[in-house]
Amino acid sequence: MRNIEMVLVLCGALQLLTLMFRTQKVSRAAVLAGAAGSGALAAHLIFEGYRWQMAVPYALTLAGILIVILRRSQSENGRSLWKPLRFLGYGMGCLLLIGSALLASAMPVIQLPEPEGAYAIGTETFHLIDREREETFTEEPEDNRELMVQIWYPAQQAHPAGNRVSLFPEDRELFDAYIKAYTAELSLPAFVLDYWKYFQTNAYERRPIASSGKPFPLVLISHGEGTGRLLHVSQAENLASHGYIVVAIDHTYSTLATAFPDGRVSGYTVQNSGTVEDFFERATRVGAVWTQDIAFVISSLEQVNDGASGGGFQGRIDMDRIGMLGHSFGGATAFRAVNDIPKIRAGINMDGTLYGIQERDGMDKPFLFLESEDFLTWKTRFEQGEVTDPAIQKRLSAELATIDRAVEHGGTMIAVEGASHYNFTDLQLFTELLDLTGMTGTIKGDRGARLVNDYVLDFFDKHLKGTGKGELLNGPSQQYPEAKFP
């Protein structure tokens, strides 16, 4: 809960306690509690902003003031409410207040975790159009492939008065489009996630890039299918704070929502259905487009680095030290891209099922497979002969063999105990209630985020910067006993 929200809840509780009794001194306290609650409510609405989880404290504050006024009127007329009815009402009010406070705590207004690196963080968003490539996910024959990409970078120290960038678009129409997409996916009413408009990042928009004796290495991020770049911001910020330039791609028509500068918002239209074989056949086709997206973004960044855009990145991106990070389908695409694009030197797949591996089973670049506990369960079941579906047997056997060959060539495979699929995204930070849906596991969100960020940083420090020894990658760690090396 935010600070003024906690004050408002305390004032509401105090109002309920003082209104239960009718002595003169307590009545005065009720007036004071009502005044304090009114002030807290006004301050909250002005400085923090309304959210529906606090509806009960709002109502209790206003009701408390009304009851004080009515009580004074009743005293003058010699009437009062029947005592049992009064106490029943106050008791219900207490229960509702507690429930509201618990709900507000379970669905908090978040500030993304403070990065641990030495640099402040700047960010910019770019709209890229590949004039040489036709858009295959629409029916318009003249459509070119359009992408929105966001860049995070080491910045000069921000002025204390600077405003940090909101996680979601501040434009109300664009924000509503994002929330409509997310709530539809989660089968929730749109108002439930309206409070996401208050989510804050640690980045400052368009800050000058930090001074450095040499250019910064580049890491590209590819999201999972049906999510988007906004679920990997804490990972990008942490890398940027440690001296990396990070670029996250929205793969258009495979995100829940992507907003373009002219106000258009694309949705998730490239969805999967059918059998296991249908999934992998489609994955190969879509993955080819995503890999082309990655190659195009690298080419565009080369132009930016050469000064074509006139921005502040000229000569600041080390195009000879490029890494790739992806989650889910984006993680599998990272495996494909590291194989197919010579400029990418190392990569990480976070819990992505591999596809198209028959042509790409000889990975000879540094690669990390960061898997969930669910993957470890499937691996164990397969090895024990408990997987009986022939199609799943075939695909799982090929994937495990590919991972084994990559590990033999210097790669690493780690499974995180207590982690489920979305513990590799920022979604785990939004609410602990996701644990109830199975989207996240038993590991706490902040713990999961820290673990992922530390292993990702350790990997790229070793294989892109050459400054780290990859100590976390060498075997079990006392710092993170959840990380298993099966």
Instruction: Please state, in angstroms and as integers, the Cα–Cα distance from residue 287 to each residue in 272, 296, 331, 340, following that order.
Output: 13, 14, 11, 12
In a domain, 41, yes or no: yes
Cα dihedral: 254, 288, 440, 376 (round 10): 160
* 306 and 384 together in one domain: yes
In a domain, 195, yes or no: no
In a domain, 392, yes or no: yes
* 139 and 89 together in one domain: no
* 396 and 368 together in one domain: yes
In a domain, 31, yes or no: yes
Q: Which of 91-95, 246-250, 261-265 has the highest mean pLDDT?
A: 246-250
Using CA of residue 136, residue 138, residue 141, residue 145, what is the dihedral sign?
Answer: negative
* 337 and 215 together in one domain: yes
Could you tell me the CATH number of the domain that includes residue 463? 3.40.50.1820
> pLDDT by residue (tens digit) across 117-156?
999 999 999 999 999 999 999 888 789 999 999 999 999 8
* 460 and 357 together in one domain: yes
CA distance 151 to 221: 10
* 93 and 242 together in one domain: no
* 239 and 349 together in one domain: yes
* 298 and 446 together in one domain: yes
Q: State the average pLDDT over residues 91-111.
A: 82
The residue segments making up the domain with residue 36 are 3-106
| Strands of the 216-222 sheet, one edge to the other | 204-205, 120-134, 144-155, 245-250, 216-222, 317-327, 344-350, 367-372, 412-416, 483-484
Among residues 72, 106, 140, the one where a domain terminates is 106
Q: How many helical (H) and strand (E) elements, i.e. helices and strands, does the chain have?
A: 12, 12
CA distance 466 to 469: 8
**In this model, does residue 314 exceed pLDDT 80?**
yes
In a domain, 461, yes or no: yes
> pLDDT by residue (tens digit) across 257-304?
999 999 899 999 887 666 777 778 888 899 999 999 999 999 999 999
- The tokens of 387 are what? 């997987």
Among residues 106, 140, 173, the one where a domain terminates is 106
* 269 and 333 together in one domain: yes
How many domains in the chain?
2
CA distance 232 to 351: 14
Residue 67 phi/psi, 5° resolution? -65, -40
| pTM given for the model | 0.88
- Name which of 214-223, 271-280, 453-462 the model is least confident about: 271-280
In a domain, 111, yes or no: no
In a domain, 132, yes or no: yes
* 360 and 442 together in one domain: yes
Amino acid identity, position 21: F
